[in-house]
Every structure is written in structure tokens, then in C-alpha cells.
Amino acid sequence: MFRFGKVLVQHAALRAPAVTVPRLYHPAKATSMDSLVSRFHQLRFNSTNGSTFVSGFNTQGNAVIDNIQSSALPSSQFKTKKPTTPGKRWLKRVPRDHLYKGKAVRALTVAKRSTGGRNNTGRITIRHRGGGHKRRIRILDWHRQETGTQTVVRLEYDPGRTAWIALLRHDKSGKLSYIVAPHGLKAGDQVTSYRAMKDQEGDITRTVAIDVGNCMPLKMVPVGTIVHNIGLKRDGPGVMARAAGTYAQLIQTGEKGYAQVRLSSGEVRLVPVDACATIGSVSNPDHQHEMMGKAGRLRWMGIRPTVRGTAMNSVDHPHGGGRGKSKGNKDPRSPWGVLAKGGKTRKTPNPFVVKPRPRR
């Protein structure tokens, strides 16, 4: 290492080779850092497909190295670009090499008609929307009522959501359907829905497979299991924990009544035990760390610019007007006067919330 002017330069011959250590490992299989590194390289180079992706998911919430095949979480590193342009300097995206490169199944899509955030009278009811690339809405199976085993054909990108989606083919009927891809699901895996399993009196021998991607009522799920796509009604669709990286943990259940579910926000909520839930967490958990790099990429997604309230006139926003940067001695609030940061706006508490999420 030597100093060249005011820049510190490291000679290439003195540069040590980088060692990539997986974030997820089983403590019983690695007693030290050296054994962990050696085990990782052994799994990396002895794999049949040559993949360096680390996967494996335990329904009890602990991550283990069970296999080294490509999954719904392809890599722990983001894809970055050389800063040849200002827009590429801060661009940071999740790798999508494992996703299908072609188009979606046409029969499972519907055209999305853009409204620009306007209602039937032409007034803007949702701000900061408009333009963007043409899209087609993917029709997903939120109910999972069909029994039998389904095979994962491929994983795809959905422009209408943050998580990946999985294309399923029923083994008997051959029917195709889309679901939100759980973390760890890959092409060739088999998933099953147990929602249509009827209770029989005196039947104590029924068994269900607690595998990633399987759907079943909460009364069939063991306590402590990580779940997503949770419903709120007996025969209703899954409505909670559907975004990228979200999950919930079942902390109490039974044959009748309500189960207690802890959401990723920390909130504990009551859910009927007959409502559906899918084993595992949602794919693409690193979505929250992505950086678009430039404003134009957001315009491609149909997101328009946001103007600060203090930069508006007093008739346009409660923070507007005045001389200089001033909110007029008002607490932060929305354009319609609703408190925006920490203010209480709910008049009646939700009776199904056992423990609210922690507030800052």
C-alpha cells in the first residue's frame, strides 16, 4: 500500500481475495467462522446446478442451510451499476435473474385502465399518480379453495405488486393459477391447499404438511409458525401480509373462536381460526432497501412528483404561505388538516387488536 498524491492506493498483489459468507446458517453445523466458510464453499461448489444462492426456511422462524438451489430470494447482494450516468450512480435493485423472462399467461391477466388518480367526476382523489408504462393486472388466487397438489411452473415479476408471483399447474386438472410466491419457493416445488378439508367427528388421524406454500385454516397450523396471506373470514380470501417481505407469527390458536397472530409490525390481532393462512413469509424481503436512482424511473411506474406543503400558498396547504420557511406554528398535518405525525385520528379502537404496534 503506498500513497499517490492525496489518494491512498492499494497494490493489486497485496489485495486479499474476498470471501463471501452466507448470512443464514445453522449453528449446529458451524462451530467457528473457519468451519462456516469451509462448509459454505463445499456447498457452493458441490451443488448440482452451480448456483451460489442460499435458501432454506424453517416454519418455526429459524433460517437454515438445507439446500443451495435458487429460490425466491436469489442473492443477498444488490445489483448495482457503474456510475456512467447520474441515474445509475444511486441505482440499487434486487437481482431478478431467477424470474421468468417472458410474458404472463394472457388468460390470467386483465387490462389496467389508467385513471390518473381521478374519480368519476374528474377530480383528483389520489395525488401523485399519472402516466407510467402500460400494465396488465395479474389475477391471483387469494382463496386457494381447490384441493389437490399443484406444481410450481415458474416465478414471475408482477408490475402491480412488490412481491414475486408463482405460476401453479394442478397435477390432475392442469389448471393454471397465480399466487404470491413465498420466500424459498422455486420451480418444481409442490404446494397443497387444505382449505376444503371437512371436519369429521371423531377424526383424529387427519394430517397436513406444514411446508412452505401450503394453505390451510389457522386451526391446523402449529403455534409459532410463520405465515402470510391471512384471511379475516371463514371462506374469504387472504388479505393480510401480502406485500414483499411481510409475515406473521401464530402465537395462539384452537378449534373454535379466534387465533392470535403477531404481525411484522408488532401488532397482535385476533383472527378467526377458520380463516386461511399460507405457510412461510412473502418473497423479495429486500425490496425495502431498493433505490430507484432517478426520478424518471418513478415516472415509469406512474408516480408523479410530490411538492412540499411549505412551498405552497396558504390556500393550498395548511403549511403554505408566510415569509420564509414557516409552517405558521402548526403541527405537521395533511393538506386536509389531519395530523400527520403521531397525532391521534382514530375515534374508536379496533376491537380485534389485542396489542397495538409500538409507536415512536
Q: Which residues of the chain have pLDDT under 50?
A: 1-74, 200-205
Tens digits of residue pLDDT in 106-129: 999 999 999 999 999 999 999 999
Confirm if 322 and 309 have CB atoms less than 8 A apart: no
Confirm if 147 and 118 have CB atoms less than 8 A apart: no
107 CB-contact burial (10 Å; exposed 0-12 / middle 13-18 / buried 19+): exposed
Report the pLDDT value the prediction gives residue 326, as an integer from 0 to 100. 87
**Residue 148: CB partners within 8 Å, gap ≥ 6?**
170, 171, 172, 173, 192, 193
Report the pLDDT value the prediction gives residue 94, as an integer from 0 to 100. 93
Q: Report the sign of the C-alpha dihedral through residues 143, 149, 153, 155, in that order.
A: positive
Tens digits of residue pLDDT in 174-195: 999 999 999 999 999 999 999 9
Q: What is the DSSP string of 237-289?
A: PEEES-STT--EEEEE--SSSEEEEEETTS-EEEEETTSEEEES-BS-GGGGG
Residue 124 Cα to chain centre, angstroms:
29
Read off the C-alpha cell for 252.
395462539
Report the pLDDT value the prediction gives residue 145, as an integer from 0 to 100. 94
Read off the C-alpha cell for 215.
394453505
Report the pLDDT value the prediction gives residue 198, as an integer from 0 to 100. 63
